[in-house]
Amino acid sequence: MKPGGSISIWFFIGISLFVNGLLIFGSGVYEYLNPPAQPLVLANLHAGIWWGAILTALGALYSFYFSPSRTKG
């Protein structure tokens, strides 16, 4: 999964999912606490919160599993 022995692409993907997930989760929580005047369709499902949490968890898992310090050598 890391051709050439360098940092794995899956590590970069993990970082990307983790950062995006955190931002989405944070936005979802903010919207939950401060509902907009014109809510979106299905706003009651709070998709930002659970989708952000899923992406954050996946990103953390990939970042850890494929981190350069773990996969070195």
Partner 1 sequence: MIARLAFLDTSRLVHLSTVDLIIIIFYFALVLAIGFYLKERANTGEDFFMAGREMTAWIAGLSFLSANLGSLELMGWAGAAYQYGILAAHWYWIGAIPAMLFLALVMMPFYYISKTHSVPGYLKLRFGESSRTLSSVSFAFMTVLMSGINMYSMALVLKIVLGWDINLSIWISAGTVAIYVALGGLRSAIFNEVLQFILIWAGALLIPILGLIEAGGWSALKVKIAANASAEYTHLWSTLGSSNNNPMGIHWTGIVFGLGAIISFGYWTTDFLVVQRVLAAKDLRAAKMAPIIGAGFKMFVPFIVILPGLLALAVLPMKLMPEAQAVATGGHSYNEVLPLMLARYCGPGLLGLGITALIAGFMSGMAGNVSAFTTVWTYDIYRALIKKNESDAHYVSMGRWCTVLGVLISIGTAYLVMDFKSIMDYVQALFSFFIAPLFGTVLLGMLWKRATAAGGFCGLLAGTASSVGLWAWVKVDPTALRYVAMSPSAKDMAENMYRALWSWLVCVIVTVIVSLLTTPKTDAQLKGLVYGVTDIPSEGQVPLVHRPLFWGAVVAAAFAIVNVIFW
DSSP 8-state symbol, 66: T
Residue 52 CA to residue 28 CA, distance in Å, equals 8
DSSP 41-62: TTGGG-HHHHHHHHHHHHHHHH
Nearer to partner 1 (CB atom), residue 36 or residue 73: 36
Chain positions 8 to 67 lying near partner 1, rule: CB under 8 A, are: 9, 12-13, 15-17, 19-20, 23-28, 30-31, 36, 40-43, 45, 47-48, 51-52, 55
Size of the site for partner 1 (CB under 8 A): 32
Q: At closest approach, how far in Å is the CB of 64 from partner 1?
A: 17
